[in-house]
C-alpha cells in the first residue's frame, strides 16, 4: 500500500513532486555544459512554489521527456489511470468496494 493510502485518515498530506533536471552545482563537474543543463533554479523554485501552494497532490514541474516526445495530455491520462488502478488495489486489499476503470 502507498504512504498516501496508509495516512488517509490522518492530518498528513502527501504531495508527489516530479522535478526536472535543474541547474544546480550538482552538474558543475561537467564544466560550462553541465552548468547550463536543465531548468534554471529560479524558474524551478517559482513554479514549484506556485504548484505547492495549490491543493494538488501530484505535481509535475517542467516538461516530460524530450520536447515533442510524449504529449503532456497523453501522459497525464496514463498517470490518471495508473493512480485510479492503484487506488482500486488499495481498496481491494482492505476488502472494500472498488470502482471499475473507465
Answer whether 47's CB lies under 8 Å from 61's CB.
yes
CA–CA dist 53, 61 (Å, integer): 13
Above 60 in pLDDT, residue 43?
yes
Domain encompassing residue 86: 66-102
pTM higher than the cut 0.85: no
Domain check: are 57 and 95 in the same one?
A: no
Domain check: are 22 and 42 in the same one?
A: yes
Percentage of the chain exceeding pLDDT 90: 21
- Structurally, the chain folds into a number of domains equal to 2
Domain check: are 3 and 44 in the same one?
A: yes
How many other CB atoms sit within 10 Å of the CB of residue 67? 7
Domain check: are 30 and 72 in the same one?
A: no
The pLDDT value given to residue 47: 94
Amino acid at each position: 500500500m502507498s504512504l498516501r493510502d496508509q495516512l488517509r485518515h490522518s492530518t498528513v498530506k502527501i504531495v508527489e513532486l516530479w522535478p526536472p533536471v535543474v541547474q544546480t552545482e550538482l552538474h558543475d563537474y561537467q564544466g560550462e555544459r553541465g552548468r547550463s543543463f536543465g531548468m534554471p533554479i529560479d524558474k524551478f523554485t517559482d513554479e514549484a512554489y506556485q504548484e505547492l501552494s495549490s491543493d494538488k497532490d501530484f505535481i509535475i514541474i517542467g516538461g516530460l521527456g524530450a520536447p515533442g516526445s510524449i504529449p503532456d495530455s497523453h501522459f497525464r491520462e496514463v498517470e490518471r489511470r495508473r493512480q485510479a488502478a492503484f487506488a482500486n488495489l488499495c481498496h481491494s486489499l482492505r476488502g472494500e468496494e472498488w470502482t471499475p476503470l473507465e
